Structure 1
C-alpha cells in the first residue's frame, strides 16, 4: 500500500486547485440563488400587504420627479383626469403565453395639470419593428382610474423612438412630451367609465418561491459531488496505484508476426 505522497505531485496539486475552484463557485452560486429566494419572498410580502390596503389617492403615494418607494410597488392608487390619446406610447416586445404583443401607455392629465402615465393593458400584435399599432381608444372625457404602482424601467430600453419604447420611464416620457409627470407609472386595474373596448389587464406577479430553492440545492450538490469525486480518486490511487497499468497487472505482450509459410 502506497502513501499519500502522490498528492504533492504537480498533477494532483492542479487537480486539487480545479476542484477547489469548482467547489467555491458552486457554493457562491448556491448562496446567490438563496439570496434571490429571500428577495422574492420580501417582494411577495410587499405585494400581499399592498393588495390588502384600500386604494389611495395618487398624490398620497406618488410625486413628480421622484421614484415610488420600493415598499409602494403594487400599491393600489386612484386618479381622476382626462386621457391625452395623441401622446400614447407603445411598449413593444411584451409576450404573454407565447404570443407577441404590446402594452399601451396613455398619459392621464389630472386636474392640477400633473400627468400620470397609465399602462392601460396588453394587446396582441405582430411586433414587427415600428409598425403602427391600432390600439383601442381610452374612455373620452373625465375618467377615474384605479391601478397598481410600478417603478420606472432603466437603461437604453427606455429610449423612445416614433412613439414607442421597450420599457416605461416617467422621466424619459415626461422629457419627450414636455410634461410634468408623477414618478413611476400605474398598471390599470379599472376605469370609470369603462372603455368601449378593453385591453387585456395586467398580470399580477406569481406569489410563490419560484425555482430558487431547488436551484440553490443543485449548485451545492454539484460542489459536494466534486469534492467527493476528488476524495474517491485519491483513495483509489492510494489503494491501487496510478491509473493505467495497475500494480500486479502485466502489460500484454505484443504478438509477434508469423513468418510466412513456404509454398509447396
Structure 2
C-alpha cells in the first residue's frame, strides 16, 4: 500500500476531486440531452397525430382563461368572428433566415364576446415596437379562420408594453386590451375570406430527432475520457515511483550530522557509481599520436592515409 501513498498527497487529491466533478457534470449533461430527445420525440408524435385530425371548433379544445393540454398543442381548430384591428399587438425581434422582422397578433372576437388570440404571421421589417402602421390589414367583417393551437409563453418576455411584446400570452394580451380571451393562442393557417396581402405563416416544427442523441453520447465520452486520463496518469506515476521515494541517480548522499558527544562526523557514504550506460567512452589515451614525417607538425594528431596506415 505504500506505493499508493502518492494518491493521498494534496496535488493528487485535488486532481481526483476535479475529475469526479467533471465526470458528474458530463453524466448530467448527457442525461439532459437524452431527456431533450424524449421531449422532441413526444412533440413529434403529438404534431403528427393532431395535424391529421379534422379541424375542431375552438370551444371544443380551448376554454376562456384555461391552459392548453399537452396533447392538444398543434391541434387544428376553427373559429368565426371579427378581427379587433385596433387591439393589434406586435411581437418584436422575430428573425427568420437571418432577416429581421415581427409577428402580427390580432384578437378575433367571437360571437359570445370571447377573443381568440391569433398570430397572423411574420412580416419582414425593421423592429418598430408597437407601431402597427404599414402592417397588412386582415380581412374585414366576419372571418372564419383555421389554425394550430399553441400554449402561452411564460416569463417577463410576455409583458405587453405600448402594444408590443416579446412572446405571446393570451393572459397578458387579454389584460392589455381589456377583453376576455381563450387560453392559449392560434398560429394562423387559413382565413376566409382571404386578405388582400397575406403574412408569412409560421411553419410546423421539423419532425426529426435533432442532434440530442449524439450530443448525449459526446458528453458521456468526455466523462469517460477524463476518468481514463486520471487512471493513466496514476499508473504512470506508480510505475515511475512516487516523488521522494528515490533520489537522483549519480549524486553523492548528504554528509551525516556530527555526533553530539564526540563532535565527530561519521564518514560520508560513497557516491553512487555512475552507470556504464551514462559514462563517457574511453579513448584509451589522452595524448594524441604524432607524425614525425618531414613537413608534418610534431604536435599534430596522426591521420590514416588511403592505405589505412599512418
Which residue of 2 is the match for residue 224 of structure 1? 224
What whole-Å deviation, never above 9, does each CA across 1:137-175 have from its counterpart, x for those lacking one?
001111110000001111111111111111111111111
Q: For the residues of structure 1 that align with 2:228 and 2:167, how far apart are their CA atoms?
A: 47
Which residue of 2 is the match for residue 47 of structure 1? 47
Q: For the residues of structure 2 that align with 1:153 and 1:195, how far apart are their CA atoms?
A: 27
Which residue of 2 is the match for residue 137 of structure 1? 137
Matched, 1:195 2:201: no
What whole-Å deviation, never above 9, does each CA across 1:176-229 have from its counterpart, x for those lacking one?
111111111100000011100000011211111111111111110110011000
Q: For the residues of structure 2 that align with 1:226 and 1:32, how far apart are their CA atoms?
A: 19
Work out which of the two has the higher radius of gyration on C-alpha atoms and give 1 or 2. 2
**Unpaired runs of at least 5, structure 1:** 252-264
Distance 1:147 1:132, change over 3 A: closer
SS at match of 2:44: helix
User: 1:3, CA displacement in angstroms?
Assistant: 2.2
TM-score by length of 1: 0.89
Which residue of 2 is the match for residue 86 of structure 1? 86
User: 1:128, CA displacement in angstroms?
Assistant: 4.8
Which residue of 2 is the match for residue 63 of structure 1? 63
> Runs of 4+ in structure 1 displaced over 4 angstroms?
128-133, 246-251
The alignment's C-alpha RMSD in Å is 1.9
SS at match of 1:190: strand
Distance 1:173 1:247, change over 3 A: same
User: 1:242, CA displacement in angstroms?
Assistant: 5.2
The structure with the greater share of residues assigned to helix is 1
Q: Alignment length, in residue pairs?
A: 249
Which residue of 1 is the match for residue 115 of structure 2? 115
Matched, 1:162 2:165: no
What whole-Å deviation, never above 9, does each CA across 1:69-95 have from its counterpart, x for those lacking one?
111110000001111111111011111
- Which structure has more relative contact order (CA 8 Å, sep 6+)? It is 1
